[in-house]
Structure 1
Amino acid sequence: MNEPDSVSVVMSKDALQGLPEANGDKMVWEFTLPMPGDGPQTGYDHVVLDWNPAGHIPEGVYSVPHFDVHFYLISHGEREAITFHGEGREMAMAAPDQQLVPTGYVIPPDAAVDRMGMHGLDPAGSEFHGKPFSHNFIYGYYKGELIFVEPMVSLAFLQSLPEIASPVKKPQRYSYPAWYPATYRVGFDAGKGEYTIVLQGLKRYD
């Protein structure tokens, strides 16, 4: 059937050594990862791996060193054109249909980021209840459409050599045909010396 079961970002153990620190205006290091041309097609166009050495808003929640792993459903060019400034701001920040937002998620207006999108957050995460941030799952929006899914993982959690799988809260529908995850996994393979951040239990939604 050639149906995908999972899609992963893999980092070597050495990749977490000597990571750059925040430096003046340079607060985020961005790495664009193309999807493989062969094998099953997942519907994801590319992945953007962001290293945030000082974290980001909300302050006191995600203001710790961490990685954002954006699986984009739109093209690189479309993503590069995302902006929340100028005369198109109102359309850019249009609220998505509630069917595109999982129950309980919120979309703060200050979580709109150029070249990225608006971020739907899950306030049920332990980081919103007095515990240090370890991992959570984000949905991204632009002009009312769901454009990315995003596991977020702290550096400290990766360094603990974890092996966890967490269920993904799903919306009632999606904006783009693709294979969407039932769970996401964060793990470390000691034999290979590799960290993996995985969307798994994929199911096709049109």
Structure 2
Amino acid sequence: MKKLFTIPLLALLFLTGCGDNDDTVAVAPTYKGTEQSLGNGKAYSWVKFTADNKPTSIGFTLTKGALDNLPHGGVALVLSLPAEAVGKTPFDHIMLDYLHTGHEPPGVYDVGHFDMHFYMQPLAERKAIPVYEAAKAKFDNLPAAGYLPSNYIRLPAGVPEMGVHWANPASPELAGTGKFTETLIFGSYDGKVTFIEPMVTHEFLKSKPNLAKSVPVPAKFARAGYYPMQYTIKQVGDDIQVSLEGLMMMQ
């Protein structure tokens, strides 16, 4: 039998009497998007807020089994943001692309990995991006100086339904100092910065990661909003969480 502890009458009267002046502690909410099947598990987006409704982080969770039994033909999964978060950050949706054998350039990114695009572009507009040859002028209309990290370089051509990719030449896989495990890509199309993309190998995600890195912050922003100062890739219990953290209002 559990022992019941009683509160002395005086203490009870004190606690009851404080009711009129009690300040309710505000809760910092997290809103969750719709779960979608991935591998043998699920994937879903989420956005965290402060108690006064300012966004602090945006990300997604891969539940136990989500990295298993992935199709060799690849995955293209759109994660909508939770309804409570729509319009509260510059981001419109998250796109998970899994490529079993990776992509070009050979010897660099040709291993199984996820492209994890956090898009700042409406879904319909993004999906209308054609192949490079059909819209060279828009692909080659690059953002003005200052709207991308200063040290990032453009990768060749462009990708349909994505745009132009920009990478850090100091990344180990590009600098020749190590193999690709994870890196941070930026994207653009028709003069605008359109996405931030952690690109992460399947092997690294399976290794119980605990990564936190700074996001290189551009000098300028096309529109005011809450932009990330950090990105993380972490094992949390049986799940993997990938997030853009430390959202700060930038003008």
TM-score by length of 1: 0.90
5+ residue gaps, structure 2: 1-51
Deviations 1:117-161 (A, max 9, x none): 100111111122242211111110001110111111111111110
Do the aligned residues in 2 keep the contact of 1:73 with 1:176 (CA within 8 Å)? no
Kindly report which structure 2 residues correspond to 1:64-143, keeping only aligned pairs within 5 A, or say none.
Answer: 64-83=111-130, 84-86=132-134, 88-110=135-157, 112-128=158-174, 129-143=176-190
> Which AA in structure 1 matches 2:53?
N
2:240 maps to 195
Cα distance between partner residues in 2 of 1:154 and 1:176: 32
Structure 1 consecutive aligned stretches of length 4 or more whose deviation exceeds 4 Å: none
Deviations 1:26-71 (A, max 9, x none): xx42100111111471221111111111111222111111111111
Find the partner of 1:34 among 80, 83, 87: 80
2:17 maps to none
Change (3 A) 1:43 1:101: closer
Q: Of the two structures, which has the highest relative contact order with CA contacts closer than 8 Å and spacing of 6 or more?
A: 1
1:21, CA displacement in angstroms? 1.2
- Give the secondary-structure state (helix, strand or coil) at the position aligned to 1:90: helix
1:156 maps to 203
1:21 maps to 72
Larger Rg: 2
How many equivalent pairs are there?
A: 197
5+ residue gaps, structure 1: 23-27
Cα distance between partner residues in 2 of 1:142 and 1:94: 7
> Which AA in structure 1 matches 2:168?
D
- Give the secondary-structure state (helix, strand or coil) at the position aligned to 2:55: coil
> Which AA in structure 1 matches 2:214?
P
Deviations 1:106-126 (A, max 9, x none): 00223x101011001111111
Cα distance between partner residues in 2 of 1:177 and 1:140: 18
Question: Percent identity among equivalent residues?
Answer: 34
1:25 maps to none
